[in-house]
């Protein structure tokens, strides 16, 4: 092959024409094209209603008439209402007992499941199953478990061993823990998978080196596994906390006849908001409750991130 | 310090036997390097010595004690891993200190030992740093520090320099060697890099497919390889192997010849250097140059002999043209002879 020379008859012009936009601009254009869809969605469907809720909480809107500005009256009413405080503390009970219990159980299962080779995938799928099951369906199954004998499985077993019947969902003492157990069980699958991914990410040589240095199982767990799982834990603590603060499905489905349990003993904030908005149609009041929930979520999440922050 | 003895050591994974009854005696204070290609069983052997892999058959003795069933910690040996295995959430001080976790020494003594190890390894300025703030070489030193503080009877190194760049690797080779001379400890070191083996070892153990092919001092293995594999594995560039025969007194390269002739590129001289080989009983090869690699002090010349590529050496300032026909000569003493079918060395060459 010969190289083109000055005498070639082919007109000499650059083979590739210079693009109009710089490479940086072109790639930015693409990025924004793809980002536009979720961005528009979030702004219209999520952010706008969120900010609107702040405004609504200062009005007396009831769906029918126009919203009228009433200042902080909704908040004053809410804070003076005993039912609100009952619901407020219920929500924190779910959070305070539910989060650490979930975390410990999920970790223990993940820790041992990680060591099991026999039927590993089957067991993992079994634990994950509740997570992909509809909350309503699960809640109804558990609801049956909690019935009095002979319908209720648990009371049936208690009866067999000679222990008195427990009125799980009808007792002001037991209703909340009973629902919490269901909620914990429903979330475990996801948390176990996350913990296992965290455990898998720790190189085997860390454990081998520790064994050579003579650390026992307990010391390895305390000195190596747990500290290295910290990012996983931070994520899960925040994730589980938000889930418990927003608990609704289980409560709504397990105490349908009397949503919120006997004397409101199981009612969380979200259920209260739902009832205020869609039973009482008091949108202003519901918006005020939403703002309170939003504030709690924000404060709790920020607090956890701060407490569990990486210290250097 | 202690000796390490392997006696008909066997390892099976399921039904597959990967180590086929190897015997080896590592003397007290000796630096032994296991070398071989990936999957030859060198790391598995080291891990069995460490106690991280179960022994399927045979015996491992450290000193006079059979350690087959002992936990890693009860063997009192330390290991340095390829990825260092230093903990990212601990400072250098804590990482080195964890080597003394089970030690019954008092707190001050432990601190003193950590300081001492850090000083020896030049890590003193970094004691309060986390591994993320260290370079690869410094991390490697932390791993060595953790191994040292415990004062173990032997050190095991599993490809410790593989993750370092070439320059740092050369530096760490010297440091590990110097450390061995200073501590006088028994070391078993695994690598696939024959340069590391040659430069550091008191004794090299060449492994392949779960067998020990040859063991001996580096220069003995280099000069007298027992088979074609070892001959080509040790030394860089690899030894040239050509079919050939003996005619009269002199070896001759010939396709389909009854024996294999081996000659190291450093011994196969080209250009003005070839003229210095006066010896007529040596090997002479001719062929067209296919590639040249000037390295500075010398030029590696690739040329073609009956369809086989052969590498020879020309002086640094002589760079032959590609395509030029050249003559290469090696003295008789530099020719290794191997059996063409068994690939074993015919006699000490």
Per-residue pLDDT at A13: 60
Question: Picking from A106-115, B237-246, B276-285, which range would have the lowest pLDDT averaged per residue?
Answer: B276-285
DSSP B347: S
Query: Choosing among B72, B143, B162, which should be mutated to test the A contact, i.e. which has the most A CBs within 10 A?
Result: B72
Per-residue pLDDT at A12: 58
What is the percent of chain B where pLDDT is above 70?
Answer: 98
Domain range B4-230, CATH architecture:
3-Layer(aba) Sandwich (3.40)
Is residue A29 a part of any domain in this protein? no
Closest chain A residue by Cα to residue B155 = A212
Closest chain B residue by Cα to residue A311 = B89
Per-residue pLDDT, averaged over B166-170, amounts to 89
Per-residue pLDDT at A3: 53
The kind and range of the H/E element at A206 are helix A204-212
Interchain pair A227, B77: CB under 8 A = no
Question: Which chain A residues touch B146 with a CB distance below 8 Å?
Answer: 209, 213
User: Does B54 contact A at CB distance below 8 Å?
Assistant: no
User: Does A202 contact B at CB distance below 8 Å?
Assistant: no
Is residue A21 a part of any domain in this protein? no
Find out whether B42 and B19 touch, Cβ atoms under 8 Å: no
Q: Is the pLDDT of residue B12 over 70?
A: yes
Compute the distance between CA of residue A65 and CA of residue A281 in angstroms, rounded to an integer.
11
Interchain pair B146, A312: CB under 8 A = no
Is residue A138 a part of any domain in this protein? yes
The kind and range of the H/E element at A210 are helix A204-212
The number of folded domains in chain A is 1
CB atoms within 10 A of CB B173: 18
Residues 6+ apart with CB under 8 A from B280: B250
Is residue A279 a part of any domain in this protein? yes
Q: What is the pLDDT of residues A238-250, one digit of tens each?
A: 999 999 999 998 8
Q: Please, what CATH class does the domain formed by B239-339 belong to?
A: mainly beta
Residue ranges of the alpha helices (H) in chain B?
42-50, 92-97, 107-120, 136-149, 166-183, 194-200, 218-223, 228-233
Find out whether B257 and B240 touch, Cβ atoms under 8 Å: no
Find out whether B113 and B100 touch, Cβ atoms under 8 Å: yes
- Distance from the Cα of A222 to chain B's closest Cα (Å) equals 12
Residues 6+ apart with CB under 8 A from B84: B131, B139, B140, B142, B143, B160, B163
Closest-CA residue to A96 (of A245, A262, A263): A245
Interchain pair A212, B77: CB under 8 A = yes
Query: In angstroms, how far apart are the furthest CA atoms of chain A?
Result: 108
Average predicted confidence (pLDDT) for chain B: 91
Q: What is the pLDDT of residues B327-343, one digit of tens each?
A: 999 998 899 999 999 99
> What distances in angstroms separate CA B133 from CA A150, B130, B140, B162, B209, one per listed residue?
65, 6, 13, 20, 40
Compute the distance between CA of residue A281 and CA of residue B124 in angstroms, rounded to an integer.
70
**Residue-range definition of the domain harbouring residue A203:** 84-307
Compute the distance between CA of residue B81 and CA of residue B87 in angstroms, rounded to an integer.
12
Closest-CA residue to B239 (of B257, B267, B210, B263): B263
Is residue A135 a part of any domain in this protein? yes
- Between A80 and B248, name the one with better pLDDT: A80
What is the percent of chain B where pLDDT is above 90?
Answer: 73
Residues 6+ apart with CB under 8 A from A297: A242, A245, A246
For chains A and B, what is the number of CB pairs under 8 angstroms?
60
- Distance from the Cα of B120 to chain A's closest Cα (Å) equals 20
Interchain pair B89, A206: CB under 8 A = no
Domains of chain B, by residue range, sit at 4-230, 239-339
Is residue A177 a part of any domain in this protein? yes
Question: Which chain B residues touch A213 with a CB distance below 8 Å?
Answer: 73, 78, 98-99, 101-102, 146, 150
Q: Token digits for B239? A: 């030894």
CATH number at residue A150: 1.10.3720.10
Find out whether A217 and B73 touch, Cβ atoms under 8 Å: no
Closest chain A residue by Cα to residue B50 = A212
Is residue A26 a part of any domain in this protein? no
Find out whether B9 and B59 touch, Cβ atoms under 8 Å: yes
Per-residue pLDDT at A14: 59
Per-residue pLDDT at A164: 82
Q: Are strands B31-35 and B57-62 parallel, antiparallel or unpaired?
A: unpaired
Question: Binning pLDDT at 50, 70 and 90, where does residue B349 land?
Answer: very low
Residues 6+ apart with CB under 8 A from A271: A87, A248, A251, A252, A259, A260
Per-residue pLDDT at A1: 45
- Distance from the Cα of B224 to chain A's closest Cα (Å) equals 37
Interchain pair A219, B71: CB under 8 A = no
Question: Which chain A residues touch B150 with a CB distance below 8 Å?
Answer: 213
Buried b or exposed e, range A72-84, using 16+ CB within 10 angstroms: eebbeebeeeeeb
Three-point CA angle B5, B6, B12, nearest 5°: 155
Is residue A33 a part of any domain in this protein? no
- Averaged over successive runs of 10 residues, the pLDDT of chain A (312 residues) comes to 51 66 88 91 91 91 86 92 93 95 96 90 90 88 88 88 85 90 93 95 92 90 93 92 92 81 88 91 93 93 84 56
User: Does A63 contact B at CB distance below 8 Å?
Assistant: no
């Amino acid at each position: 092959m010969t190289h083109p020379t000055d005498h070639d008859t082919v007109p000499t012009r650059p083979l590739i024409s210079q693009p109009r936009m710089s490479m940086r601009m072109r790639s930015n254009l693409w990025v924004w094209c793809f980002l536009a869809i979720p961005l528009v969605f979030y702004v219209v469907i999520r952010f706008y209603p969120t900010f609107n809720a702040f405004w609504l909480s200062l009005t007396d809107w009831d769906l029918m008439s126009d919203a009228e500005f009433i200042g902080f009256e909704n908040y004053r009413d809410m804070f003076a209402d005993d039912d609100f405080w009952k619901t407020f503390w219920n929500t924190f009970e779910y959070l305070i007992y539910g989060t650490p219990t979930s975390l410990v159980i999920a970790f223990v299962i993940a820790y041992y499941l990680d060591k099991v080779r026999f039927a590993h995938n089957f067991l993992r799928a079994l634990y994950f199953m509740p997570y992909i099951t509809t909350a309503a369906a699960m809640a109804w199954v558990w609801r049956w478990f909690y019935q009095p004998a002979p319908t209720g499985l648990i009371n049936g077993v208690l009866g067999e061993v000679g222990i008195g019947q427990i009125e799980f969902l009808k007792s002001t003492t037991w209703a909340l823990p009973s629902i919490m157990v269901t909620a914990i069980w429903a979330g475990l699958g996801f948390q176990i998978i996350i913990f296992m991914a965290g455990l898998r990410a720790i190189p085997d040589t860390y454990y081998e080196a520790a064994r050579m240095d003579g650390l026992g199982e307990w010391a390895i767990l305390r000195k190596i596994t747990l500290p290295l799982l910290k990012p996983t834990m931070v994520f899960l603590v925040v994730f589980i906390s938000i889930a418990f603060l927003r608990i609704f499905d289980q409560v709504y489905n397990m105490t349908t006849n009397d949503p919120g349990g006997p004397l409101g003993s199981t009612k969380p904030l979200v259920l209260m908001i739902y009832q205020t908005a869609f039973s009482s149609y008091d949108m202003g009041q519901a918006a005020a409750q939403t703002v309170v929930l939003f504030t709690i979520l924000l404060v709790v999440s920020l607090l956890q991130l701060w407490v569990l922050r990486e210290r250097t | 310090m202690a000796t390490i003895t392997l006696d008909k050591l066997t390892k099976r994974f399921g039904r597959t036997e990967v180590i086929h009854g190897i015997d080896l005696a590592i003397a007290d204070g000796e630096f032994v390097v296991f070398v071989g290609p990936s999957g030859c069983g060198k790391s598995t052997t080291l891990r069995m010595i460490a106690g991280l892999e179960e022994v399927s058959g045979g015996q491992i003795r450290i000193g006079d004690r059979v350690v087959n069933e002992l936990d890693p910690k009860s063997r009192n040996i330390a290991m340095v891993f390829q990825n260092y295995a230093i903990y990212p959430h601990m400072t250098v001080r804590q990482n080195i200190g964890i080597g003394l976790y089970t030690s019954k020494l008092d707190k001050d003594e432990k601190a003193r030992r950590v300081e001492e190890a850090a000083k020896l390894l030049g890590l003193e300025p970094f004691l309060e740093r986390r591994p993320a703030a260290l370079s690869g070489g410094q991390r490697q030193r932390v791993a060595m520090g953790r191994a040292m503080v415990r004062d173990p009877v032997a050190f095991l190194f599993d490809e410790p320099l593989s993750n370092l760049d070439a320059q740092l690797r050369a530096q760490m080779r010297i440091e590990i060697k110097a450390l061995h001379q200073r501590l006088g400890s028994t070391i078993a070191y695994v690598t696939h890099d024959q340069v590391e083996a040659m430069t550091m070892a008191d004794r090299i153990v060449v492994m392949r497919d779960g067998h020990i092919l040859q063991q001996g001092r580096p220069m003995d293995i280099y000069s007298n390889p027992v088979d074609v594999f070892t001959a080509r594995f040790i030394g860089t560039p690899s030894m040239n192997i050509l079919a050939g025969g003996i005619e009269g007194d002199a070896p001759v390269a010939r396709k389909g010849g009854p024996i294999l002739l081996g000659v190291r590129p450093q011994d196969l001289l080209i250009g003005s250097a070839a003229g210095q080989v006066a010896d007529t009983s040596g090997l002479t090869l001719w062929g067209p140059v296919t590639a040249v690699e000037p390295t500075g002090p010398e030029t590696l010349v690739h040329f073609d002999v009956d369809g086989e590529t052969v590498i020879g050496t020309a002086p640094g300032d002589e760079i032959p043209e590609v395509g030029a026909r050249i003559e290469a000569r090696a003295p008789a003493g530099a020719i290794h002879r191997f059996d063409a079918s068994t690939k074993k060395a015919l006699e000490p060459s």
